[in-house]
Amino acid sequence: MTLRKRSGALWTVQYCGSDPFGAPILSPLQVQKSLGILTWARKAGLIHLFSAHDDDLLPWEPKNPEDYLDPKAEIHDRLLAIKEQVDNARLPMNMITCSLHGNPIFTAGGFTNRDSAVRLLAVKKALRAGWIGNFLGAKYVTYWTARDGFECHSCDPTAPESNPYVWLSQALNIVAAACKAAGGSIEHGTIEPKVNEPRGYSYVPLVGSALAFILQLADPEFWGVNPEVPQHAAMGCQNPYLEIKQALHFGKLFFLHLGGQIWGQFDNDFPVLVGENKELMVHIFNLLEEYRWKGVLEFDCHPLRSDLASGLSEEQHLEIFRQFLTHNAMMTALIERILVPRIRQSDPLQEEVLRLNLPRHSMYGDHLVRTGLLALPPAKAAESIAKASVPAEISNFRQNHLAVEQAFNLALYGVNDDDLATAMAKEDVAAMEEDESDPAPGDSPGWRA
C-alpha cells in the first residue's frame, strides 16, 4: 500500500454551522484555538499537514490590500505567532488559497469581475496570500473558482475584449510569476474546479475544463489540479472517478480534497464516506494505488449541521472537531486498505512499447503504458453496504457515525477500529521518519517584507 500524507484544512474546523437558510450555531473560535485542533490532530497521528485560506489566518481590508508590504504592520507579529504554533507542532503547510468569495466586494467575481478595479484588487489579494503561504512554508497556492462565474447567460460578458477567460489567464499568470520570483516554498499552483455554487455556473466547472485551461497559461508546468471528491463532480452528476483518472493521466493531480456527497445535490461537504459514494471512493483509491500516486489527501468537509448545538462549552466545541478529524482519518485509512480484485490481461502492443522505451507525455508515464485492467464488480462490497444498518434511535454524529464506522468496517472487510488505529500509528511513525529532513521548528523560511 502506498503511504500518503493526510492534511487538515483550517476552514473545516472553523465551521460554525451556517447555511443559506440558517445562522451559525457555534460561536467562532480564535485562530489559535482552531489551529490547536489541527496541532492536536498532528500529535495524534491523524494528519501530517494543514492548509488554510488567507482570511482564515489573517483578516484582510480592501482599503489596505498590501498591508504586508509595511514591515511595521501588525500582520507580521500575528503571522509569526501562527508560524511558531505550527512549527512547534511540526505541522507543515500543504497549501494556501486566496478567498475570493467571502468579502462583499467580490460578489460578482474576483479574477473575472467586470470591474477592472475589483480584478486588480483580487490579484493583489492573491499575491498577499502567496506571501503568507511562503512565510508559512506552503508547497502549493490554490485557485478555487469561487464566484468566478455567472447566474444566467445574459450576465456573462460576450464581447471578445471582455473575455473572462482572458482575465482569468492574466491573473493566474501574474500569481505564478510572482510565486516563482519570490523563491520561497511555493513550488506549484493548483486549480480546484467546481460545477456551480456559489454562482449558478462556474467558468472552470470540471477537471477536464481545468486541464484544457492550464494548457494556454504562460507556465503550464506550474499548474495542476486538486479535485474535491466526490463532492464537486457528483454535484453535477458527473463521475469523480473519471476526473481523477484524467488528472493522473496528464500528471496533473497535485493533491486531493476529500469529503462526502449525495448525487445531484448542493455541495454537501459531508465527512468522508458519509453520503452515497462508498463504493465509488474504493475504486478511486484503487486507481490511486495503480498509479502509485503519493500525493496529499486533504479533508475538505465539515461535521453535519444537525449534529451541532448552541450553548456548548469551549471544550465540547473542540471535542466535536477532534472526533470529526478522527472519523475522517480512520475512514480514509480504511478505504486505502480495500483492494478491488483485478484481472490483468497481456497486451502485445503495449509490451512492445515498453520494450522500446518510447517517450511518454506524463510524469506518471511508467504507469500510463501498462497491461490492461478489467475491474471485477465488487459484489460483496455492494451487498454488505446494503445490509449495514444503524439503530434508528441513534441520531447524534458522535454516536451515529461511530456505529456506521463499526458496521462498515466489520460487515465489509472484517476490520475493527483497534486494528485500524494500530496500522495508522505505524504509518504515522513512518511519515514522521520521512519528516526528519524537514526544517526544525523556527528554521523554516519566513521573512518580513
User: Residue 158 has which C-alpha cell?
Assistant: 460576450
Rounded-to-integer distance, Cα 389 and Cα 393, Å: 12
Is the residue at 87 inside a domain? Answer: yes
User: What mean pLDDT comes out for the span 191-200?
Assistant: 96
Rounded-to-integer distance, Cα 274 and Cα 99, Å: 26
Question: Count of CB atoms within 10 A of residue 87's CB?
Answer: 20
Dump pLDDT digits (tens) for 399-416: 444 544 555 555 445 555
Is the residue at 392 inside a domain? Answer: yes
Integer CA distances (angstroms), 72 to 69, 78, 307, 445, in order? 9, 12, 43, 19
Q: Which domain holds residue 279?
A: 6-341+376-437
Given a cut of 80, is residue 370 above it in pLDDT?
no
User: Residue 145 has which C-alpha cell?
Assistant: 473558482
Residue 248: per-residue pLDDT: 97
Query: Which uninterrupted H or E stretch holds 6?
Result: strand 6-9
Rounded-to-integer distance, Cα 200 and Cα 402, Å: 36
Rounded-to-integer distance, Cα 334 and Cα 338, Å: 7
Query: Which uninterrupted H or E stretch holds 9?
Result: strand 6-9
Is the residue at 448 inside a domain? Answer: no
Residue 235: per-residue pLDDT: 96
Rounded-to-integer distance, Cα 4 and Cα 94, Å: 13
Residue with cell 472537531: 321
Is the residue at 357 inside a domain? Answer: no
- 147 pairs with which residues across the strands? none
Query: Which uninterrupted H or E stretch holds 189?
Result: strand 188-192
Rounded-to-integer distance, Cα 418 and Cα 415, Å: 8
Given a cut of 60, is residue 321 above it in pLDDT?
yes
- Asked if residues 346 and 371 have their Cβ atoms less than 8 Å apart, the reply is yes
Is the residue at 386 inside a domain? Answer: yes
Domain count, the chain: 1
Given a cut of 80, is residue 348 above it in pLDDT?
no
User: Residue 429 has which C-alpha cell?
Assistant: 511513525
What percentage of the chain reaches a pLDDT higher than 70?
Answer: 77
Is the residue at 354 inside a domain? Answer: no
Closest CA to 97 of 219, 241, 233, 194: 194
Residue 414: per-residue pLDDT: 53
- 143 pairs with which residues across the strands? 191
415 by DSSP, 3-state: which?
Answer: coil
Per-residue DSSP letter, 57: H
Integer CA distances (angstroms), 208 to 130, 239, 268, 407, in order? 25, 12, 22, 36
- 260 pairs with which residues across the strands? 270
pLDDT-derived band at 279, boundaries 50, 70, 90:
confident
Residue 434: per-residue pLDDT: 66
Count helices and strands in the chain by DSSP H and E runs: 16, 13
Rounded-to-integer distance, Cα 56 and Cα 316, Å: 22
Is the residue at 442 inside a domain? Answer: no
Integer CA distances (angstroms), 103 to 11, 17, 27, 30, in order? 15, 19, 20, 19
Is the residue at 351 inside a domain? Answer: no
User: What mean pLDDT comes out for the span 85-105?
Assistant: 97
What CATH number does the domain containing 134 carry? 3.20.20.150
User: Residue 214 has which C-alpha cell?
Assistant: 492550464
Residue 293: per-residue pLDDT: 96
- Report the interhelical angle of 116-136 vs 164-182 (nearest 10°): 30
CA dihedral 444, 430, 301, 78 (to 10 degrees): -20
| 312 contacts: CB under 8 Å, gap ≥ 6 | 26, 320
- Asked if residues 167 and 122 have their Cβ atoms less than 8 Å apart, the reply is no
Given a cut of 50, is residue 318 above it in pLDDT?
yes
Given a cut of 80, is residue 190 above it in pLDDT?
yes
- Asked if residues 65 and 121 have their Cβ atoms less than 8 Å apart, the reply is yes
Residue 388: per-residue pLDDT: 37
User: What mean pLDDT comes out for the span 66-93?
Assistant: 96
Q: What angle do CA 363, 367, 371 make, to 5 degrees?
A: 155
**Of residues 359 and 87, more confidently modeled:** 87
Rounded-to-integer distance, Cα 348 and Cα 326, Å: 47
User: What mean pLDDT comes out for the span 103-129?
Assistant: 97
Strands across the sheet containing 223-225: 223-225, 188-192, 140-144, 93-97, 49-53, 6-9, 296-299, 255-258, 228-229
